Structure 1
């Protein structure tokens, strides 16, 4: 992964994420690319953890593990790592990828203040 222009990646805000979590998330693949120790501090239950640091392990099989055409939302701490993963997924066959703008930190501040900030 390297520095890129993320302006082409669609984003959703944390309020939209919260509304979707309260509705039906079965139609959306939710990925959290933070480290396991970060997820242990603050997390949302519906997200599957695929740490960016383990990219070499999951990058070769993620297209087989997930539906490349199903809507996929990616989250991290502030939105930068998830944006990187969104770009990579989009360049590798995923057709409907969105970045959670502001990440879990924004979710904690704007939606659910019981989620710890770190």
Structure 2
């Protein structure tokens, strides 16, 4: 089962993985990234659209913790499940996506 982490709980998830260089993998499309994006704070931000993840899997390190992000959480859940199937051991889904990120973590992130 994929761990579900609300944006408001992300700091605690990052603390549990301190020293392991956690990654937030944003799987939204380019237009969505232009509409709203997050700023790395205690994590590395990697942006790969969901449809490109299989072909670009080599850009991700399966030893690093990865929390997947999309608009509301459905696409990122699917990517998180795919990563877990590919041998990534520390994978989470950011439940509620960037929409919840704006509401719970950073009101400066536009909602769309």
- TM-score, normalized by the shorter chain, greater than 0.5: yes
| Structure-2 residue corresponding to 1:4 | none
Once residues 60 and 10 of structure 1 are traced to their aligned partners in structure 2, the CA distance between those partners, rounded to angstroms, is 24
Q: Report which of the two structures shows the higher radius of gyration computed on alpha carbons.
A: 1
Q: How does 1:82-101 map to 2 (within 5 A)?
A: 82-101=76-95
Alpha-carbon contact 2:20-2:64 (below 8 Å) kept = no
Cα offset, 1:93, TM superposition = 1.3
Equivalent residue number for residue 79 of structure 1: 73
Structure 1 unpaired stretches of 5+:
1-7
Structure 1 consecutive aligned stretches of length 4 or more whose deviation exceeds 2 Å = 16-20
Find 1:16's aligned residue among 9, 30, 42.
9
Are residues 1:59 and 2:54 paired?
Answer: yes
For this pair of structures, how many residues does the alignment match?
A: 105
CA separation in 2, counterparts of 1:31 and 1:117? Answer: 19
CA RMSD in angstroms, aligned pairs only: 2.1
Unaligned runs of 5+ in 2: none
Q: Distance in 1 between matches of 2:10 and 2:38?
A: 11
